């Protein structure tokens, strides 16, 4: 069984990779993420990888269709897709969140239909449920109307409606959704501090035994679940091909007194929720904390969940005690624990670009025989050809990064940021191919391309310290020509994929990506050429300043 995990580098995704690795029925796993992890580190080393931003902005139906087509190419051949990708921050930018969370889910579902995937498993949440004012456990039939004041809940409700429509329109696609409680593990410590507490809260105080007293909203009760328990539920849904919704929560339900005992001293101060809400709302509005008041509203209003269906249908039982799970998280938060992925990075580790591919890695591209150069092909010529393309790709990526930074305040910025993501993926793929085939990279050429690109930034004209309106026109024309050469590379690799022990579909997807990039540069060229030769140093041609 081949499984694709969309959003495989986050809290749940990292645990799901561990669980899939332990499942004998799963033969291969492809992880998709906006930013790739260190693929030499566990649990990321055992999966294939590709970069996809399911929340990327698109300009019109054409770009939207192209994005879904690229995504569908990655999903081709999968027996099941587990969709976990979800943005929590930046929660001051609602449109960014909606595009990633709601439109992203729709795009994944559409890509599953196009790729002929038989099973879509999606991460919903307890936050999708309508509010209650009691402690009666609710089954999956409880309405999913959400908490209107919580952006997270509102988007989860919208996601549920997307899944409803897809399931109704495509009865041949099995649609499952998990509605877990709060998902905790030690390695999520640093991530949760960044997302919910921010830099002004001393994380060290969260270790059990540190806080002299614990202030909590009166009436708080919550369910938590260990990430590994959630991951086992996802795997069981996939293996059993179980449709519908499943509540997933640990035991027992934690109340304020239980939380106080977890922090060791057991001393509790209950605060009126309304008063705490006012303080939290002000702190969020002034950007003192990253957590908005909607999270409190959701925590106080969502129902307790019955997990009977998961037990009966999936044979699932939580293996981690809820209080012990919370204690594990607090220890991880205090210590700044994490993993080797961008969202899960430990405290003190900078948010760096995608890690380079490990030498010899080829699992994301290899066919059944493994990568190799057959005797009838000239490995010297092939190595030179691929090395020259890698040199050009290295220079192009560096230039794209520079442009994305240089034009960050213009209308060109969204397309350039997406270009950087795609070029990063392409360099990674090409490096993986060269290493997997055992061919030399000729690193001195890439080093020369790196240095040459930087020297090229020094324009010896009167606009050394400012942008010329002609500059973006020339940049776009150079990129447009380079894209067509790159298209030829992917076509060559697709043509010879079977001989080389590689998978042609991967290169076909990259070829389509190159065509989409060419269309993008045509559109950008039309935008900037109008004012490319207008007099005046302050004009930024078509860049929207």
**255 φ, ψ to 5°?**
-115, 175
pLDDT at residue 118, rounded to an integer? 96
Structure-block tokens of residue 391:
């040199």
pLDDT, tens digit, for every residue of 115-131? 999 999 999 999 999 99
Fold of 2-335: Rossmann fold (3.40.50)
pLDDT, tens digit, for every residue of 250-300? 999 999 889 888 887 667 888 999 999 999 999 999 888 899 999 999 999
Q: Is the pLDDT of residue 233 over 90?
A: yes
Length of the chain: 545
Mean pLDDT of 474-483: 86
Cα distance between residue 41 and residue 355, in whole Å: 11
Strands 254-255 and 221-222: antiparallel
**387 φ, ψ to 5°?**
-65, -40
Ranges 194-208, 277-291, 330-344, 508-522: which has the least confidence: 194-208
CA dihedral over 501, 504, 509, 513, signed as positive or negative: positive
Secondary structure class of 329 (helix, strand, coil): helix
pLDDT at residue 357, rounded to an integer? 37
Q: Is the pLDDT of residue 369 over 90?
A: no
Q: Is the pLDDT of residue 365 over 60?
A: no
Looking at domain 379-531, its CATH architecture is: Up-down Bundle (1.20)
Q: Do domains 2-335 and 379-531 have the same CATH topology?
A: no
pLDDT, tens digit, for every residue of 156-207? 999 999 999 999 999 999 999 999 999 999 999 999 999 998 877 787 777 7
Residues 423 and 474: beta-carbon distance below 8 Å: no
- What are the residue ranges spanned by the domains of the chain? 2-335, 379-531
CA dihedral over 210, 213, 216, 222, signed as positive or negative: positive
Q: What is the 3-state secondary structure (H, E, C) of 273-302?
A: HHHHHHHHHHHHHCCCCCCCHHHHHHHHHC
**220 φ, ψ to 5°?**
-65, 135
The conformation of residue 321, written as its DSSP 8-state character, comes to B
214: CB partners within 8 A, 6+ apart: 259, 260, 263, 265, 267, 268, 269
Cα distance between residue 454 and residue 251, in whole Å: 57
The conformation of residue 252, written as its DSSP 8-state character, comes to S
pLDDT at residue 404, rounded to an integer? 83
How many Å separate Cα 247 from the centre of its chain?
23
Ranges 21-25, 37-41, 293-297, 335-339: which has the least confidence: 37-41
pLDDT at residue 184, rounded to an integer? 97
pLDDT, tens digit, for every residue of 379-410? 889 988 998 898 888 888 888 888 888 787 78
Average pLDDT of the chain, as a whole number = 86
Cis peptide before 252 (omega within 30 of 0): yes
Instruction: Strands of 12-139 (E only): list them.
Output: 28-33, 48-51, 80-83, 119-123
- Of the candidates 151, 180, 130, 147, the residue with the CA atom closest to the CA atom of residue 292: 151
The conformation of residue 130, written as its DSSP 8-state character, comes to P
The pLDDT confidence band at residue 442, using thresholds 50, 70 and 90, is low
């Amino acid at each position: 069984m081949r499984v694709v995990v969309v959003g495989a580098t986050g809290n749940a995704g990292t645990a799901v990779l561990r669980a899939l690795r332990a499942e004998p029925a799963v033969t291969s796993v492809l992880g998709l993420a906006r930013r790739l992890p260190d693929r030499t580190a566990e649990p990321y080393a055992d999966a294939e990888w590709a970069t996809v931003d399911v929340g990327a902005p698109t300009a019109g139906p054409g770009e939207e269709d192209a994005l879904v087509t690229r995504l569908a190419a990655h999903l081709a051949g999968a027996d099941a897709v587990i969709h976990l990708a979800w943005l929590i921050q930046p929660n001051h930018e609602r449109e960014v969140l909606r595009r990633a969370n709601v439109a992203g889910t729709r795009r994944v579902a559409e890509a599953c239909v196009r790729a002929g995937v038989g099973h879509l498993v999606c991460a919903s949440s307890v936050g999708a449920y309508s509010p209650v004012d009691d402690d009666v456990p609710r089954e999956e039939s409880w309405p999913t109307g959400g908490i209107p004041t919580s952006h997270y809940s509102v988007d989860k409700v919208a996601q549920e409606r997307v899944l409803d429509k897809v399931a109704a329109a495509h009865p041949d696609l099995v649609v499952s959704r998990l509605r877990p409680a709060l998902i905790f593990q030690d390695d999520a410590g640093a991530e949760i501090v960044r997302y919910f507490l921010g830099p002004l809260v001393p994380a060290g105080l969260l270790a059990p035994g540190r806080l002299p007293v614990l202030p909590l909203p009166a009436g708080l009760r919550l369910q938590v679940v260990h990430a590994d328990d959630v991951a086992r539920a996802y795997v069981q849904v996939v293996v059993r091909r179980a449709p519908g919704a499943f509540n997933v929560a640990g035991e027992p339900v934690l109340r304020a007194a239980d939380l106080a005992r977890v922090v060791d001293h057991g001393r509790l101060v209950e605060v009126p929720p309304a008063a705490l809400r006012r303080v939290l709302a002000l702190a969020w509005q002034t950007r003192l904390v990253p957590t908005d008041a909607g999270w409190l509203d959701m925590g106080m209003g969502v129902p307790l969940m019955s997990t009977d269906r998961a037990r009966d249908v999936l044979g699932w039982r939580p293996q981690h005690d809820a209080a012990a799970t919370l204690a594990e998280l607090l220890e991880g938060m205090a210590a700044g624990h994490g993993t080797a992925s961008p969202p899960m990075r430990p405290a003190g580790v900078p948010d760096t670009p995608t890690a380079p591919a490990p030498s010899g890695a080829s699992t994301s591209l290899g066919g059944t025989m493994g990568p190799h150069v057959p005797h009838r092909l000239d490995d010297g010529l092939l190595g030179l050809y691929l090395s020259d393309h890698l040199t050009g790709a290295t220079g192009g990526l560096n230039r794209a990064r520079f442009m994305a930074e240089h034009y960050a305040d213009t209308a060109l910025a969204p397309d350039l940021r997406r270009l950087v993501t795609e070029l990063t993926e392409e360099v990674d793929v090409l490096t993986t191919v060269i290493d997997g085939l055992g061919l030399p990279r000729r690193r001195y050429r890439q080093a020369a391309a790196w240095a040459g690109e930087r020297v090229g930034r020094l324009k010896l004209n009167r606009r050394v310290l400012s942008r010329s309106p002609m500059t973006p026109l020339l940049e776009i024309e150079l990129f447009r020509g380079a894209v067509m050469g790159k298209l030829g590379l992917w076509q060559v690799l697709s043509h010879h994929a079977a001989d080389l022990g590689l998978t042609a579909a991967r290169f076909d997807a990259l070829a389509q990506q190159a065509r989409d990039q060419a269309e993008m540069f045509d559109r950008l060229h039309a935008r900037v050429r109008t004012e490319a030769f207008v007099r005046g140093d302050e004009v930024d041609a078509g860049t929207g300043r």
